[in-house]
Chain A
């Protein structure tokens, strides 16, 4: 048996509806034209095409290719986070930060480990 008997939790008004409704309700009433989002979208496409073009059509010499693509990827990531993932909004940063840190940790882990794993020179690949 659970022997703890905590105090009755303080609910907003009693039946608990608003907790849920606030979330079920999408914010549908845009206050302004989403020009930021549209610019961000176009920029994201341009960045992708740029990276693709550089590899597919040899726009830049191979040695400088990887650093340039990494820079592009970084800008792309910042763009996605800032514009589409609502990172610039102050609301809920306490949730954002640990999750972002975790994502970064897993992402870097995957990339780092993969580099380590694939460094072998046994001629398989």
Chain B
């Protein structure tokens, strides 16, 4: 019976033993129930149309920002659960909460989700939510491309996240080094999921980079020269250019690995004279700039948060911008520090060790500038400011241990030990995540129109930060004691037991902090504390001159910028009426129209990716044709704009009390 055999084969492919573990099946059931419940709810309340028109087809940067944020928080949850599973396994010696294969899958998913599907979208959430508002623009330069980026990211995330229930998760770590990512040693579709999901999301990321580069270079309000844009916008500009240069090497590395796995090529295989180390080289040409892509926006957030809550202009604007530029430049010449042990020789290693250490200088400059900004200021300990204050010591420790790792002989000891794990969690959690959370609390009122409760936010902060220190400080010592990363379990009697126990306790405290934060959000949504002023923090930059949330066209009247902290200057000089319009100055506003093309395009990519993952080439071709069809539709039939007429603008602004009599 060929049909029967075929079905059986398909079932084995889709549901290999590793996806039939009881916990995974339980999660599958839970997810199915959740999807059904949401579907029923949407149908009952007749919300499908709303979902489609207001969100799915939107090209409004503010809504796209909100969708990125929600996705990032969900992914933070997913990655966090993975982290707790890892830490539960390591709570005691010889624990077998998970088998080795599942453990590998969990840490791989944890790293991949956290870097690509939590941190990146969190960064893009804040870019989208604020950059156009800060530079006095009505949207990004390419609004529809922006939606395409989001949906490509979303479908990439779906791809990676479905791997654990259909086909099996990747298990070669978030860097997926060969030879372990080779087909020979890692059969099944898990690795393909990794390659294709990052590829799909990566296209969107590159597009976002281009979009924000163009937006910031070309769409600033009149008078806002580059020397007047807020430092957060500078960080967005530099991050975008880093994306532009860093992601193509990743695309190449992933693409060639895919050719190896799916089409039998041997770029990185051990057999047939492939060069596995070339993958490592390509990966880190991307990977090191990537860590700066993640942390620069956090630097940007703090450069907004600190002046606002110290009531002082940023200390050393030029130095701040200069150090961002220096970091991005130097950050390109350091990638070998991730594989000193490859054996490229003393000259290569010394060169890259030194270039790595140099980065500490501009980073230090920034630290001092934030401190000098606070110096003598009137500091308000709001939640965004608390995250900033926690960031400073955390990041200093992370940077200092980075220097230790950059010392080549030392790195031969620390490499791939828990010392390394502690280092990069110190900088990524303590830098990127603290920064993004600070930014989230800071701009939340602007994004949603209501504030997050301060007391609960403080609790979430306190739990999270103390959990953080408790988790990662012991890991430095575990590294010194010789515990290597990615051990599925460990024997007793090596002096690791107590340290691991503390680390696990800390992780659960952090988890509790996250839960309080979710509670904080839900509670604040239930008992909304509306921000009617548009300027709840007494802010300095242009986004605070707008109502919260900003109307769809952002600025009824594009401001004419005269100084760096323009809104602050307006308030000081009594010019706040400049943001108002009157019946004579109001103009109709052209805005881009919603479009279904972005989600169609992303879906076609999704279908094509599944085809490649399972080597169903008919499906890959179908997806490819779908991509072409969506692009053709987008080019010939789709693009148009709407005109918001002057009367409507006037009405909206009048309701907001922004019309001059």
Contacts and interface: CB of A to CB of B under 8 A. Distances in A.
B572 interface: yes
Interface in B297-342: 313, 332-333, 336, 342
Interface of B: 136-139, 141, 143, 214, 217-219, 221-223, 245, 249, 275-278, 281-282, 285, 313, 332-333, 336, 342-345, 348, 557-565, 569, 572, 585, 587, 589-590, 592, 639, 641
Given A116-B348, A118-B278, A2 B585 contact: no
Interface in A6-47: 6, 8-12, 14-17, 19-21, 23-26, 28
Contacts of B561: 9
A114 B332 CA distance: 12
Given A2-B564, A117-B336, 10 more contacts: A1-B572, A2-B569, A4-B563, A5-B562, A8-B562, A113-B333, A114-B281, A117-B281, A118-B275, A122-B342
Contacts of B342: 120, 122, 124
Nearest to B215: A23
B643 to A, nearest CB: 11
B223 A11 contact: yes
A2 B344 CA distance: 51
A15 B558 CA distance: 6
A114 B223 CA distance: 43
Contacts of A9: 222-223, 560-562
A119 B344 CA distance: 7
Contact of B222 (A11, A21, A124): A11
Given A124-B342, A125-B275, A125-B276, A20 B558 contact: yes
Nearest to A107: B245
Contacts of A106: 245, 332
A24 B589 contact: no
B277 A118 contact: yes
Contacts of A11: 222-223, 560
A52 B526 CA distance: 60
Contacts of B275: 118, 125
A110 interface: yes
B590 A21 contact: yes
Contact of A124 (B219, B343, B558, B562): B343
Contacts of B559: 16
24 contacts: A1-B572, A2-B313, A2-B569, A6-B562, A8-B560, A8-B562, A11-B222, A14-B585, A15-B587, A16-B221, A17-B590, A19-B222, A21-B590, A23-B214, A24-B139, A103-B245, A106-B332, A117-B344, A118-B277, A120-B342, A120-B348, A122-B343, A124-B277, A125-B275
Closest 8 CB pairs of A and B: A16-B558, A9-B223, A11-B222, A122-B343, A120-B344, A2-B563, A125-B277, A125-B275
A10 to B, nearest CB: 8
Contacts of B641: 24-25
Given A1-B572, A2-B313, A118-B281, A20 B587 contact: no
Contacts of B565: 2
Contacts of B558: 15-17, 19-20
Nearest to B348: A117
A33 to B, nearest CB: 14
